[in-house]
Amino acid sequence: MRAFMVEKYGDHAGMRAAEIPDPQVGADDVLVKIHAAGVNPLDLRLRNGDFKAFLPYRLPLVLGNDLAGTVVRVGPSVTRFAVGDEVYARPDKDRIGTFAELLAVHQDDLAPKPAGLTMTEAASLPLVALTAWQALVERADVQPGQKVLIHAGAGGLGSIAVQLARALGAHVATTVSTANVDLAKELGADEVIDYRTQDFATLLDGYDVVLDSLGGENLAKSLRILKPGGTAISVAGPPDPAFARELDANPILRLAMTALSFKTRRSAKRHGVTYSFLFMKASGDQLRELTPLVDAGKIRPVVDRVFPFGETLQAMEYVEKGRAKAGKVVVAMT
């Protein structure tokens, strides 16, 4: 089969298209013919080697963390799926590789594709939808009437998180560029901050939850707009000791993560709030919980551009250079 692989960590020069053997299918695996795959900033960070300390992949590595496709074979222990089923998934972190024609996925990580979505629309959802769910539902337990700030509300993660927070009954604020103010309102944001002309830290206060996808100074300022007892959840900030324990990291890596997040955790404590780093997990069951919201129109995919599979490297470059105006970039096999 054809796939796009990282041969050495670094920039785009370390990736190439290749012909590789078809995947082996284990007892609990489902072999999926991939119709479309989402492109995420995570793919760029994996290609660059940013996470090799705690995700020690063996190179060469097939990239890709989102898929939508059709089941073409099932392992002998599979009970949830049959040949011909249309599915979508974010494969487990140890079994990524959606920039390929086929992928074997554990049945627990798959879910039936929402019937009303095209393959390209469905492929844009799993990673960002699961991240939003795990941040807002699983970790923050957002309740109706709470105030939630979603940064980068027109981006891949932000556009879904704004809709999910709204569906949970929260009062939603978000930050976007001038060009995406109207889109953020369409997605359900109650307050839209144009970060080019406004400073959210001077306009917002008393928030229960912040979902941060930018890190750095943006995260530091976010701690200040939370009310006492509030929580900031970041996918871009420094990994914390809880994440190290979750990984069962070695003592050296635990110390490193503790040190990296010390300043942020200390600042959070000073403000009477908590800081939490999130690295999302694969979950077919959580995708199943999200699907009714998609079917009801409460969450709709936002797709910026679709590239043909043969232009996967160009799609990654498009994302890397910040050319996407809103939502996700997808590569399609057909």
pLDDT along the chain (334 residues), means of 10: 94 90 97 98 93 87 97 98 98 97 98 97 98 98 98 97 98 97 98 97 98 96 98 95 86 89 95 96 97 96 97 96 94 91
Superfamily (CATH) of domain 2-125+301-332:
Medium-chain alcohol dehydrogenases, catalytic domain (3.90.180.10)
pLDDT at 282: 97
The answer to whether residues 307 and 287 touch, using CB atoms and an 8 Å cutoff, is no
Q: 215 in the Ramachandran plot: left (φ > 0), alpha (ψ -120 to 50) or beta?
A: left
pLDDT in tens, 10-40: 888 889 999 999 999 999 999 999 999 999 9
Distances 158 to 46, 150, 214, 247, 260 between C-alpha atoms, Å? 21, 6, 11, 26, 25
Distance, in Å, from the CA atom of 175 to the CA atom of 308, rounded to the nearest integer, reads 31
Token representation of residue 201: 């830290």
The full set of domain ranges for the chain reads 2-125+301-332, 127-277
pLDDT at 73: 98
- Work out the end-to-end distance of the chain between its first and last CA atoms, rounded to an integer number of angstroms: 15
pLDDT at 246: 86
Query: What contacts 287, CB < 8 A, 6 or more positions away?
Result: 88, 89, 90, 110, 111, 126, 129, 130
Handedness of CA 238, 240, 243, 247 (dihedral sign): positive
The correct answer on CATH 3.40.50.720 for the domain covering 127-277 is yes
Token representation of residue 66: 């989102």
pLDDT in tens, 127-137: 999 999 999 99
pLDDT at 220: 96
Token representation of residue 117: 């979505």
pLDDT at 192: 98
